[in-house]
Amino acid sequence: MKIVVLDGYAGNPGDLSWDALKALGDCTIYDRTAPEEMINRAKGADIVLTNKVCFKAEHFDLLPDLKFIGVMATGYNIIDCEAAKSHGVIVTNIPAYSTNSVAQMVFAHILNIYNRVDHYATEIHEQDAWVKSLDFSYLNTPLHELYGKKIGIVGLGNTGSATARIAIGFGMQVYAFTSKSEFQLPHEIKKMELDDLFRECDILSLHCPLTPSTKNLVNADKLKMMKPNAVIINTSRGPVVNAQDLADALNSGRIMAAGIDVLETEPPTADNPLLKAKNCYITPHIGWASYEARVRLMDILVENVKAFMDGKPVNVVN
Do 56 and 200 lie in one domain? The reply is: no
Do 252 and 133 lie in one domain? The reply is: yes
> Does residue 199 belong to any structural domain of this protein?
yes
Do 74 and 55 lie in one domain? The reply is: yes
Instruction: Report pLDDT for 215.
Output: 96
Instruction: Report pLDDT for 16.
Output: 97
Q: Which residues are catalytic?
A: 237, 266, 285
- The domain tally of the chain equals 2
Q: What's the whole-model pTM score? A: 0.93
What angle (nearest 5°) sits at the alpha carbon of residue 216, between those of residues 211 and 221?
Answer: 140
> Does residue 209 belong to any structural domain of this protein?
yes
Instruction: Report pLDDT for 181.
Output: 92
> Does residue 153 belong to any structural domain of this protein?
yes
Do 145 and 240 lie in one domain? The reply is: yes
Amino acid at residue number 34: A
The CATH number that applies at residue 171 is 3.40.50.720
Instruction: Report pLDDT for 272.
Output: 98
Do 171 and 219 lie in one domain? The reply is: yes
Do 68 and 158 lie in one domain? The reply is: no
Do 166 and 120 lie in one domain? The reply is: yes
Confirm if 60 and 83 have CB atoms less than 8 A apart: yes
Of 290, 274, 273, 271, the residue nearest 282 (C-alpha): 274
Domain of 261, in residue numbers? 99-282
> Does residue 317 belong to any structural domain of this protein?
no
- Distance from C-alpha of 48 to C-alpha of 308, rounded to nearest angstrom: 12
Instruction: Report pLDDT for 307.
Output: 98
155: left (phi over 0), alpha (psi -120 to 50) or beta: left
Do 274 and 256 lie in one domain? The reply is: yes
Tens of each residue's pLDDT in the chain, 318 residues: 999 999 999 999 999 999 999 999 999 999 999 999 999 999 999 999 999 999 999 999 999 999 999 999 998 989 999 999 999 999 999 999 999 999 999 999 999 999 999 999 999 999 999 999 999 999 999 999 999 999 999 999 999 999 999 999 999 999 999 999 999 999 999 999 999 999 999 999 999 998 999 999 999 999 999 999 999 999 999 999 999 999 999 999 999 999 999 999 999 999 999 999 999 999 999 999 999 999 999 999 999 999 999 999 999 999
- Distance from C-alpha of 193 to C-alpha of 131, rounded to nearest angstrom: 49
